Amino acid sequence: MKSALITGVTGQDGSYLAEFLLEKGYKVYGLRRRTSTPNYENVQAIKDQIEWISGDLTDLPSLIEAVRIADPDEVYNLAAQSYVAASWPQPILTGNITALSVTNMLEAVRIVKPTARFYQASSSEMFGKVLEVPQKETTPFYPRSPYGVAKVYGHWITVNYRESFDMFACSGILFNHESPRRGLEFVTRKITDGVARIKLGLQNELRLGNLDALRDWGFAGDYIKAMWLMLQQDTPEDFVISTEETHSVREFLEVAFSYVGLNYEDYVVLDPKFVRPAEVDLLIGDCTKAKEKLGWKQEVNFTQLVHMMVDEDIKRVQAEARY
């Protein structure tokens, strides 16, 4: 039986990945940060099937102990301060968690089990003010937020451990990927939650920032399969994962509101509070390499993704409203 250690297992990607690996017969270890108010919402259904290990990404001894306990074949480093907007008011925390902690995790693996295969969650935010359209593995980075800057560090330290210590370390450059489990502060989930509340008469406006930003949005449940595929190859390499389509926030609004028979223009209010100090205007990925080498392809398209998220939010908001 193979074993995997996942950091960030209670998040969107971690929960989908844990389900996927459990189905494949893996023993799944999840690193959890001690807190007085734990949140297991995303992993409710599989909570008892995960072997929980307490630890913190900023605390190397706890990571060394986690790798010792799990003795993993594969390590998926998904934990981070992952919200771009929060990285301006908390740039140091973002740097400590999203950048430097990748080295902690790599060190723990190098010290305890250097043969374990390592996946680093890199991000299309590294492309930022894009230097090429579409963006692929060889496109230079130009991050536009403390988050993007931190992810560039995480990316290069992963490459560096591969080249310095001959570790099987891969970096997956994933473009935005969403689902009903996406955090409520991200624009996609904020919109689908807003649509549900407006449709059910619980809210009458939705306050947003820049509607012209273009993103390459895929389904998280498809993207975690690419993470696993990267670690099953003969040689460790980095891959872009994307849908190769781009849509504006405005298009997301149109599809989400019209799905429930509403016009977004009647409800959306522009609020400067949600406009960022520096913006990533356009992301669109070229994932030819992943298609050819990993045999990966997306299953859920843009419209299906938006509809799935609206459906789930309507169900959840309805259930909450009953109590």
Where does this chain bind ligand GDP (CB under 6 A)?
A: 84-85, 125, 176, 185-188, 190, 208-210, 213, 215, 249, 274, 276, 279-280
CA distance 47 to 42: 9
Joined together, the tokens standing for residue 95 give: 């740097």
Could you say which of 16, 26, 119, 147 is catalytic? 147
Joined together, the tokens standing for residue 24 give: 């494949």
Angle at alpha carbon of residue 161, lines to 15 and 103, rounded to 5°: 60
Q: How far is the CB of 217 from ligand GDP (least distance, A)?
A: 9
**Active-site residue 147, yes or no?**
yes
**Active-site residue 142, yes or no?**
no
For residue 296, how many other CB atoms are within 10 A of its CB? 20
Position of minimal CB gap to ligand GDP: 213
Q: How far is the CB of 92 from ligand GDP (least distance, A)?
A: 19
Q: How far is the CB of 188 from ligand GDP (least distance, A)?
A: 6
CA distance 105 to 101: 6
Q: How far is the CB of 138 from ligand GDP (least distance, A)?
A: 22
Joined together, the tokens standing for residue 268 give: 């959306």
Could you say which of 124, 125, 178, 264 is catalytic? 125
Residue 162 or 197: the one with the smaller Cβ distance to ligand GDP is 197
CA distance 53 to 6: 10
Q: Which residues contact 149 (CB under 8 A, 6 or more apart)?
A: 95, 99, 143
Strand partners, 172: 121, 239
For residue 3, how many other CB atoms are within 10 A of its CB? 17
Tokens 């560096």 locate to 160
Q: How far is the CB of 125 from ligand GDP (least distance, A)?
A: 6
Joined together, the tokens standing for residue 247 give: 């849509």
Residue 6 or 126: the one with the smaller Cβ distance to ligand GDP is 126
Residue 84 or 116: the one with the smaller Cβ distance to ligand GDP is 84
Residue 252 or 296: the one with the smaller Cβ distance to ligand GDP is 252
Residue 279 or 311: the one with the smaller Cβ distance to ligand GDP is 279
CA distance 244 to 287: 7
Could you say which of 15, 82, 87, 123 is catalytic? 123
**Active-site residue 125, yes or no?**
yes
Catalytic residues: 123, 125, 147
